[in-house]
């Protein structure tokens, strides 16, 4: 059954993945390899010297240098990932994926980031959910982390909830992850721009705003998984970004992680509903 789902995903996405403008993969990889030792040296030495200094303005400057180096390294990794997607190296490898383990891993990472801004973060159950689905776990994890990180980055106060539900359709069931936040009001048109692949003539502030290349990568990976992304307004304020992919399981026959109990926190803390 897993192989059949994998073949189906590949057929659906072979000609529809919306990738960025052509990039010279060899050049990007070579450039990254040349730059990485210098970045590692700059960030590493800055961190070492900062650790040896007492609290001072110079120490904070060194920590800022180390952080900036880390951000540059992250951008290089994103550029390489975009090259791999464009060249067709990234495909969906469908396997069984435990949702409980997936939720726990994401919560462990994102609760600390959300807590640092005073935000409430939780996975919230909206329908009965299976214990496991058939998908490419690594691609799904990357997408969920990117979307959660983007939601936390644009939300200054309130909450970021990931509402999980299973949808029935003509081609089987799908699982939906709705990223609901209380970010400042923005237009749907502007929100949709976050996921567009960048081009050489795109303004820098548009490229790197609210996730930049990470969200362009996410959009392409969702298509590789034969899924969809959509953006809607959150009643009141904020956005709802929905990621939907096939579950690859028969909901009638599978063991459920949670029975239908609307607005129940699967992990994280839920105070705002």
> pLDDT, tens digit, for every residue of 171-190?
788 999 999 999 886 666 77
User: What was the pLDDT predicted at 181?
Assistant: 93
**DSSP alpha helices (H): ranges in the chain?**
2-13, 25-52, 57-86, 99-116, 137-154, 188-193, 204-208, 213-224
Could you give the CA distance from residue 84 to residue 88 in angstroms, rounded to a whole number?
Answer: 6
User: What was the pLDDT predicted at 244?
Assistant: 96
User: What was the pLDDT predicted at 126?
Assistant: 82
User: What was the pLDDT predicted at 44?
Assistant: 77
Give yes or no for a contact between 148 and 106, defined as CB atoms under 8 angstroms apart. Answer: yes
CB proximity list for 75: less than 8 A, separation 6 or greater: 213
pTM of the model: 0.72
User: What was the pLDDT predicted at 96?
Assistant: 93
What tokens appear for 162 in the block?
Answer: 């990931």
Closest CA to 180 of 120, 227, 137, 136: 120
- Angle at which helices 99-116 and 137-154 pack, to 10 degrees? 20
Could you give the CA distance from residue 36 to residue 62 in angstroms, rounded to a whole number?
Answer: 18
User: What was the pLDDT predicted at 154?
Assistant: 87
Place of tokens 């028969």: 250
267 backbone dihedrals φ, ψ, rounded to 5°: -160, 155
The number of CA neighbours under 13 Å toward the Cβ of 95 is: 9
User: What was the pLDDT predicted at 148?
Assistant: 93
Fold of the domain spanning 2-17+94-268: Heat Shock Protein 90 (3.30.565)
User: What was the pLDDT predicted at 25?
Assistant: 63
User: What was the pLDDT predicted at 206?
Assistant: 44
User: What was the pLDDT predicted at 20?
Assistant: 47
What tokens appear for 238 in the block?
Answer: 């904020």
What tokens appear for 159 in the block?
Answer: 């909450």
CB proximity list for 76: less than 8 A, separation 6 or greater: 28, 31, 32, 35, 36, 39
| Ranges in the chain, pLDDT < 70 | 1-29, 31, 54-56, 185-188, 192, 196-212, 251-255, 257-263, 267-273
Kindly report the CA angle at 234 between 121 and 251, in degrees rounded to 5?
70
**Using CA of residue 102, residue 103, residue 104, residue 106, what is the dihedral sign?**
positive
């Amino acid at each position: 059954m897993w192989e059949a789902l994998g073949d189906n995903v590949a057929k659906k996405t072979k000609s529809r993945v919306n990738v960025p403008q052509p990039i010279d993969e060899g050049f990007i990889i070579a450039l990254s390899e040349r730059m990485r030792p210098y970045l590692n040296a700059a960030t590493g030495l800055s961190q070492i010297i900062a650790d040896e200094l007492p609290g001072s303005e110079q120490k904070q400057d060194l920590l800022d240098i180390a952080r900036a180096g880390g951000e540059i390294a992250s951008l290089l990794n994103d550029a390489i990932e975009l090259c791999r997607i464009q060249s067709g190296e990234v495909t969906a490898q469908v396997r069984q994926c435990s949702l409980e383990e997936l939720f726990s891993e994401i919560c462990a990472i994102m609760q600390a980031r959300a807590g640092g801004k005073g935000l409430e973060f939780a996975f919230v159950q909206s329908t009965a959910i299976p214990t496991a689905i058939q998908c490419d776990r690594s691609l799904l994890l990357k997408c969920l982390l990117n979307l959660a990180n983007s939601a936390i980055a644009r939300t200054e106060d309130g909450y970021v909830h990931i509402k999980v539900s299973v949808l029935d359709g003509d081609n089987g069931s799908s699982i939906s992850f709705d990223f609901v936040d209380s970010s400042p009001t923005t237009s749907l048109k502007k929100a949709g721009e976050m996921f567009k692949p960048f081009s050489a003539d795109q303004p820098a502030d548009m490229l790197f705003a609210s996730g930049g290349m990470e969200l362009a990568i996410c959009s392409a990976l969702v298509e590789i998984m034969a899924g969809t992304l959509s953006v809607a307004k959150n009643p009141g304020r904020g956005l709802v970004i929905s990621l939907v992919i096939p579950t690859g399981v028969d909901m009638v026959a599978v063991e459920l992680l949670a029975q239908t109990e609307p607005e129940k926190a699967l992990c994280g803390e839920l105070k705002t509903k």
